[in-house]
Amino acid sequence: MKKDKKSDKPSRQQVFTLLVEVGRSENDGLPAKSTGAALMVFASGVDEAEAVRETVAILKQADMAPLDVSGYGTLEERLAEGHDISDEERELMERAKVENSVIVVQSTPFYD
């Protein structure tokens, strides 16, 4: 019986909180009169750069137009900075880690 190599090592994946500003593009799913949006995202990656790359790629696949990404760190880094993180947010972060995924937690449309 062959052992799965991934199960031998603990996961190096971490979950990063990112704020992504998106502009408008056709079929982006944003409200008709909005000029863009801010998306709060929990994204897994071995480092923040990988989490950003994966997030941008997935948003582009969803016909969104990412313009800027700001990183707010891992759960541990955010706690060290005094951020208040709800149980719901912690559950979503754990889900992103387990599923090795990108989860859009909140979308705030911009209007002129």
Query: What digits encode the pLDDT tens for the residues 55-77?
Result: 999 999 999 999 999 999 999 99
Asked if residue 1 belongs to a domain, the reply is: no
Phi, psi of 105 (to 5 degrees): -90, -35
Q: Is pLDDT larger for residue 4 or for residue 16?
A: 16
Other CB atoms within a 10 A radius of the CB of residue 99 amount to 11
Phi, psi of 9 (to 5 degrees): -115, 145
Domain total in the chain: 1
What is the span of the domain harbouring residue 51?
Answer: 12-110
Identify the three-state secondary structure at position 70: strand
Query: What digits encode the pLDDT tens for the residues 74-90?
Result: 999 999 999 999 999 99
Task: State how far the Cα of 43 lies from the Cα of 23, in Å rounded to an integer.
Answer: 20
Give the pTM. 0.87
Asked if residue 78 belongs to a domain, the reply is: yes
For residue 101, what are its two tokens?
């995924």
Asked if residue 48 belongs to a domain, the reply is: yes
